[in-house]
Structure 1
């Protein structure tokens, strides 16, 4: 699909939906303004996971549940999103946190991401909502030593706080690949998202790391919305597909996984969405991709 074709189709869809379409160049230009604003944030230096690869041996890793929460970094003074933007947590919540930096997830239990996201993104926190969630800790940013040593320090540190909603994420050993897959399926059957695997001997190091892996029954990734494809048949006059741009610049159309409401009011141009997929084509594009959610700005 050429950029000119994408622009024509997106313009048509915009007219059908009663919205204004901005071509790709305009989308990029508008993003330039937000980039300067985002640059003023002090983005935390955090470890980021890569996908688990077939052939890796889980024996050298500590394995924990991948929580469907909101990542939160405590720098010893302020609770922040991964982007660096301050989280408006109640004063009693941050007052209970130790001076040691923490990396973890704000969590409300499985399959409650939307309610959690709404609660932690309010500019004015609601105490009753924050009393229901937990801050689940999985690392100590910048601390020395192996990960298994840091995990032990997390348990000891949080035990001393005596705060029931501040908890370490359980880390377990898995002996082999077959057991890992069996446990992954059991977790998925219970509503869990998947696993995070962290090499037990790995020192803390910021950035995307081979030592930190995520494993899901179906992996997911983020991409930017760059255009619309109009629907046909029952979807005439609504969204048919999103044209997404991956971080490496490759583009593809995503046409499944949308509700009727999402097709009538699709994600905005320039926004980031999360999609699931089964595997990849030889040229790196996702196979059997399905829309999951809009990635909330932080």
Structure 2
């Protein structure tokens, strides 16, 4: 388990906006495009990195834990925000983006290892890895009252112009700040074509944005939607774990094994009644096959973000 530093909470209003699911809103939004209520929607790559919000005070996780690492990124963030631009107050800007390295030699697990260590535990090797990481900016929150209603497409324009302005003035010495590219689309087919291209380049998926979407700190917003394809495979169950808290007295997780012998836990993606039913017949689950949804295999050969949707011959409710 990686160590992280103690929480340093950001001021109210500087929490990250949370993603909702594209599949939950796509029919309504695509209908608005067809009817001319919205001219187009926008998409950008979803990086397989670490979500990071950045201010003059530091780099923070989505859960508002302050990172001790990637000082090269924060140095350039401070220079970017302090470079005069249209009278923006640098103390009232929060950048939102992803710490990521575009290359196969630094996968997600290594990025996490390098970024989430405290200054006490950072090694020269960690610093070497950190210096490869760039900050891909996909939004910003302007907390000054007269900027709170700024729509997404205007915020992206200003991010691009701020970066150009700072580069032109030679402010950014580490060259580690990038604006995430955006593309417009009008149909699901166009979005799927963009998604295929991003997946071919090693991205996790795609992010969909509405042109007029506001930045909603701490909220799961329809102005920020993720579209990540899921893999689905069957795995042998070798053990079960009990639930805790509200799941006490029901199944907590299935202990599964891959065909190569790698073990992992999969949380049940079923309702509470089915969790209880599976727990009652837990002895009979050993040796059966669970259908597991996950995003991809990690470098360690186990499914990432696994959830068990059904168990063969166990009386299932699929979700």
- TM-score under structure 1 normalisation? 0.63
- Distance in 1 (CA, whole Å) between partners of 2:45 and 2:274 is 27
The alignment's C-alpha RMSD in Å is 4.0
* Residue 187 of structure 2 is aligned to residue 172 of structure 1: no
Deviations 1:151-173 (A, max 9, x none): 00011112233332101111110
Query: 1:240: which partner in 2?
Result: 239
Q: Which residue of 2 aligns with 1:45?
A: 15
**Long gaps (5+) in structure 2:** 34-38, 82-89, 276-289, 295-301, 307-319
**Structure 1: distance between partners of 2:178 and 2:102:** 13
Counterpart CA distance in 2 for 1:165 and 1:94 is 10
How far, CA to CA, are the matches of 2:191 and 2:160 in structure 1?
24
Q: How does 1:1-298 map to 2 (within 5 A)?
A: 41-42=8-9, 44-53=14-23, 54-55=26-27, 56-57=29-30, 60-97=40-77, 98=81, 99=90, 100-109=93-102, 112-124=107-119, 125=122, 126-143=126-143, 144=147, 145-162=150-167, 163=172, 164-206=175-217, 207-218=219-230, 239-241=238-240, 253-254=253-254, 256=256, 258=258, 263=263, 288-290=292-294, 292-293=303-304
- Deviation of residue 243 (structure 1)? 6.3
CA distance 1:78–1:170, shift in 2 (3 Å): same
Q: Which has the larger radius of gyration?
A: 2
SS of corresponding position for 1:96: helix
The alpha-carbon deviation at position 77 of structure 1 amounts to 1.3
How many angstroms apart in 1 are the aligned matches of 2:42 and 2:182? 6
Per-residue CA deviation, residues 177-234 of structure 1 (Å, 9 max, x unaligned), is: 11112222333233321110111111211210122110012289xxxxxxxxxx98xx
TM-score calculated relative to the size of structure 2: 0.60
